[in-house]
Chains A and B, each alone.
Chain A
């Protein structure tokens, strides 16, 4: 299995809702990432988990809460989002060891906050 699977593919939520995005990989990768991508912009790094520990938080607002329950799963919990948080949220994974590997991305969750 060489894929990163993200669910749901689309999500519409109100500003008072709580929802979660899910990401799964079975490649044995030990680093997992959340990126946010606005239209016509490059993906922006949000969080990095390395060996199930949060290693990088790019000063993301607390209304985004990541979780890594095990080495194959990554969640992003959403609460009290703003309309400007509407974007494509991409999950990625990397072996963690070795610098000669690229990142594998999921196809993303397109989030709309209303």
Chain B
């Protein structure tokens, strides 16, 4: 039931782009994205509710392919502040947020 993310880890130089994928074996009705820095709380980035929806703010955006049960997070022109672990999340039932396996992103100067 837990969504699977890929890659597990990625190292970037500042200014490079990255894509993080989230895939579920079960139907996805919505997808959340969170970032967690080491020793800190997960922080909500965005939620996608409909298949085909794309969202973004600043240089972080996401897409949701409902038919393929997949979502992707796009980080453009990465900054040092983007470092952390990214989790997608799904809600198979109301009130139940299940996190994906996580992707560790390290941005180097």
A-side interface residues toward B, CB under 8 Å? 4, 31, 33, 40-45, 48, 50, 55-56, 90, 92, 94, 96, 99-108
User: Are the CB atoms of B95 and A105 closer together than 8 Å?
Assistant: no
Specify which chain A residues have a CB less than 8 angstroms from the CB of B95 in the assembled complex: 31, 48, 50, 55-56, 94, 96
**B102 and A41 contacting across the interface, CB-CB below 8 Å:** yes
Q: How far is the CA of A108 from the CA of B39 in the complex (A)?
A: 9
For B48, the closest partner residue in chain A by CB is A100
Interface bin, chain B = 20 to 34
Contact check, A105 vs B42: say whether CB atoms are below 8 A apart.
yes
Which of B's residues lie within 8 Å of A, judged by CB? Answer: 2, 30, 32, 34, 40-47, 49, 87, 89, 91, 95-102
A55 vs B87: C-alpha distance in the bound complex, in angstroms?
24
Please give me the residue from chain A that is nearest to B99 by CB atom.
Answer: A42
**Is B32 in contact with A102, judged by CB distance below 8 angstroms?**
yes
Given A102-B32, A105-B41; A43-B47 close (CB under 8 Å): no
Chain B: CB-nearest residue to A33: B97
28 contacts between A and B (CB under 8 A): A31-B95, A41-B102, A42-B99, A42-B100, A43-B42, A43-B87, A44-B99, A48-B95, A48-B96, A90-B41, A90-B42, A92-B97, A94-B95, A99-B30, A100-B47, A101-B47, A102-B34, A102-B45, A102-B46, A102-B47, A103-B32, A103-B97, A104-B44, A105-B41, A105-B42, A105-B43, A106-B41, A107-B40
The answer to whether A99 and B44 touch across the interface, beta carbons within 8 angstroms, is no
B49 touches A42 (CB 8 A): no
For A45, what are the chain B residues with a Cβ–Cβ distance below 8 Å? 96-98
Contact (Cβ within 8 A) B41 A42? no
